[in-house]
Amino acid sequence: MSNADCCAPVSNEGAAKQPTAAGRGPLVEILYFDGCPNHHPVIALVERVSRELGVEPELQLVNVPDQEAARQLRFLGSPTIRVGGRDVDPRAEERDDYALSCRLFQTDAGISGQPDEQWVREALLREAGGSA
C-alpha cells in the first residue's frame, strides 16, 4: 500500500456524528474519514486507557466526508482525538493545516499514525478532574 492510498476516503454523505458509548465522563471525539487505517486502533486506544483510568467517556465518532467539512471542523487529519473539545496533541494549537488527509504525530518514540498514549491519558485525566 502506498502513502497516497493509505487513507483514501470513501464517499459519504455529510459529516456524521455517531455516539458509540454514553459515559458519564468527558466527551471524547474521534474524527476520521472512511478508509483511514488508524481510526479503529485509536478507538481501541481510547477505550483501553479509559478503562485503566476508571473513566467512562462519552465517545463520539465524527466522520469527516470532504475538504469543506475538514476546514469547518478544524480537522488536522485522520485520526484526530479531542477530549473536552481539545486535541490531545500538545502541538495541535500551533497548526492550521486543516485537510482531508492522513495524520502523522511527532511523538517521543518517533513519527506515528496514532497519538502518544500519554497524551490521551493526560487529556482524559484533565477532563475527568484528575479524580480517576
d(CA 109, CA 79): 18
Percent of all residues in the chain with a pLDDT value above 70, rounded to a whole number: 80
pLDDT in tens, 62-99: 999 999 999 999 999 999 999 999 999 999 999 999 99
pLDDT on residue 130: 62
Angle (CA) 25 28 30, round 5°: 160
Domain 3-127 sits in CATH at 3.40.30
Domain spans, the chain: 3-127
pTM of the predicted model as reported, rounded to 2 decimal places: 0.81
Residue 10, pLDDT > 90, answer no
- Tens digit of pLDDT for each residue in 36-49? 999 999 999 999 99
Q: How high is the pLDDT of residue 129?
A: 83
The residues, any chain, with a CB within 8 Å of residue 84's CB and separated by 6 or more, are 26, 27, 123, 126, 127
Per-residue pLDDT at 19 exceeds 60: no
Q: According to the model, what pLDDT value does residue 27 have? A: 96
Identify the band that residue 14 occupies on the pLDDT scale cut at 50, 70 and 90.
very low
Average pLDDT (20-24) is 54
Q: Which amino acid is at 24?
A: R
Per-residue pLDDT band for 23 (boundaries 50, 70, 90) equals: low
**Residue 8: per-residue pLDDT:** 36
